[in-house]
Amino acid sequence: MVGGALVRRVDDRRNGAESTGDADERVSDRAQRRALRDAYRQAPPDAGVYLIHNSAAGKALLGSTVNLASLHNKLEFARATNTTGVLDHRLRDVAGAFGVGVLSLEVLEVLKVTPAMSPAEVLSDLATLEALWREKLGPDRLYAR
């Protein structure tokens, strides 16, 4: 990419741009991008308990995940491509028969993950929350495990 940067500098000089101003602006952009990237990497993803409602069958899949955004993205991908490969095996038949549009995601509870928590503690807390929600909702409207 050195050649591309050189061409940009030559073009900037031809267009009358100040060499020091452009360099300072590029450095501040890089520093800002680096700071945003580092903040993103340090922030843990939202973990929590969710329901995927099946409006065709009147049932729901209760589950928990350490990354709710990933689950949301999987469901959106399934809708966009009209494929069921990314879905839980219990939902594939229904989604194949009625379409992925009958499924909707509801986040029931978000677990507050602290940096002091180990991955095992997060999974344990998620399993406890999922069990509490399973009791609360009752087995008659949920898919079997």
Same domain, 38 and 51: no
Helices 19-42 and 2-14 sit at what angle, rounded to 10 degrees?
Answer: 140
Tens digit of pLDDT for each residue in 37-79? Answer: 888 777 778 999 999 998 888 889 999 999 999 999 999 999 9
Question: Angle CA(118)–CA(120)–CA(122) in degrees, nearest 5?
Answer: 75
Same domain, 7 and 60: no
Indicate whether this model's pTM tops 0.75: no
- The neighbour count for residue 136, using CB atoms within 10 Å, is 9
Token pair listed for 28: 């501040």
Same domain, 37 and 54: no
Dihedral pair phi/psi, residue 144, rounded to 5°: -70, 155
Report the candidate in 72, 70, 52, 47 with the shortest Cα–Cα distance to residue 62: 52
Same domain, 59 and 127: yes
Q: What is the pLDDT of residue 141?
A: 86
